[in-house]
Structure 1
Amino acid sequence: MKPAIRTPFFEIGVKNYIFGDDVFYLAQEADRAAKRYDVDVLFTAPYADIRRVAENTERLIVIAPYMDTEPPGRGMANVLPESLKAAGARGVVINHCEKPMTLAKIRETIERAKGLDMLSFVCADTVEEAKAVALFHPDIINPEPSGLIGSGRSSDLEFAACSVREIKAVFPDILVEQAAGITSGMQVFEYIMSGADGAGAASGIVGAVDPFAALDEMIASVRRAKDMLTQGRDWNENLPRIDHT
């Protein structure tokens, strides 16, 4: 059965910044933080590490970085969806700027994921693209300008609020993440308090001086935002603001 994600959530990607044991150790630390703060954490693992991460963590929702759509059979070197699911992946990233896809292929991949009860996590470069993708009704959309990814500069709060508004006008149940250029817990907090269902980071964690500390800070910020939303408190209370430009 497809996992139900509690919001706000956090998503961690490692891309190819790290591999092997380093992925495993980061996943274990993320699992501990997910338990510590009672936050749902998605972990985008490299193909070779999916099974190891899935079988040795309890709270992580492991997702694959990409998949093809061909059925079992011929197709050597294609990434078979059934194989990913059997390895422990519970979802898949679709249309990341480093693995772009046509709208037709995005739709086909979303439908393939639905057929296997896998989460569809779709990236979009602009609000316009996000609105188009929303028509295919994926589970999660991550609108992130590709020029900001890995740059250390994040989307401004106006872009974040606009993308949430436009996506949910198509299907209110689509979850919207903000992730481009996030390097601090305060950014995570601000995005969630501004309406995002979740936040995520890749280089902001694995490229940090202390990746474990960065991971903990960001997941703790998700918990903090969740608590404030639950209490109905003013998120501007005595908080510094982040310059997103």
Structure 2
Amino acid sequence: MEMLKTPAIVVNVKTYAGATGKKALEIAKIMETVANEMNVSMGIAVQFTDISLIADQVSIPVFAQHIDPITSGAHTGWTLPEAVKEAGAAGTLINHSEHRLQLADIDTCITKAKEMGLDQIVCSNNIATSKAIAALDPHFVAVEPP
């Protein structure tokens, strides 16, 4: 699997029933075909449970939708960055508008993702936050709404 190159199109399939499991894989395969035919960089952000299924079958970068600022241990229900990497992800979204984090936690997530060799797409919703996030040196800053 390749890493994301710019310019890029990244599709976040969220948690919709029509974009879960095998249906998410279908979307990823279509994206892979389009990326190859049009010579564009594309990535897909999927639910944690779908990372391995999809990463094993497509060449486009697969992203986790979130990681938590944790280390291994007693963190039931949290998403461990190492587990995302082990599942086959090329990167992760951080601070999505539907899963906001504090700036200190964003910083920890960026650091952990870099340690794991994961691309980071950190989401922001305004100029001031984008500047603060950019100072943390992630691979990408995505502004929502654009």
Structure with higher strand content: 2
SS at structure 2 position matched to 1:107 = helix
SS at structure 2 position matched to 1:63 = strand
CA gap 1:68/1:14 in 2 versus in 1, 3 angstroms: same
1:16 is matched with which residue?
15
Q: Distance in 2 between matches of 1:23 and 1:113?
A: 23
SS at structure 1 position matched to 2:74 = coil
Q: Distance in 1 between matches of 2:101 and 2:94?
A: 8
Matched, 1:28 2:33: no
Greater C-alpha Rg = 1
- Over aligned residue pairs, what C-alpha RMSD do you find? 1.6
Deviation at 1:5, TM superposition (A): 3.3
Paired amino acid for 1:72: S
Matched, 1:61 2:65: no
Q: Distance in 1 between matches of 2:58 and 2:123?
A: 26
**CA contact under 8 A between 2:97 and 2:144: conserved in structure 1?**
no
Q: Residues 33-78 of structure 1, C-alpha deviation per residue, up to 9 Å, x if partnerless?
A: 11111211111011111101100112x1001000112222322222
Residues paired across the two proteins, number:
144
1:141 is matched with which residue?
141
Q: Distance in 1 between matches of 2:40 and 2:123?
A: 22
Task: Flag as ranges the 4+ runs of structure 1 deviating above 2 A.
Answer: 3-7
Paired amino acid for 1:31: E
Matched, 1:98 2:98: yes
Paired amino acid for 1:89: A
Any stretches of 5+ residues in structure 2 without a counterpart? none
Q: Between the two proteins, what is the percent identity of the paired residues?
A: 29
SS at structure 2 position matched to 1:41 = strand
Moved more, 127-136 or 6-15: 6-15
Q: Residues 109-158 of structure 1, C-alpha deviation per residue, up to 9 Å, x if partnerless?
A: 1111111111111000101110111100000000113xxxxxxxxx4xxx
1:46 is matched with which residue?
47
Aligned pairs for 1:123-142 within 5 A: 123-142=123-142
Q: Distance in 1 between matches of 2:3 and 2:22?
A: 29
Aligned pairs for 1:101-120 within 5 A: 101-120=101-120
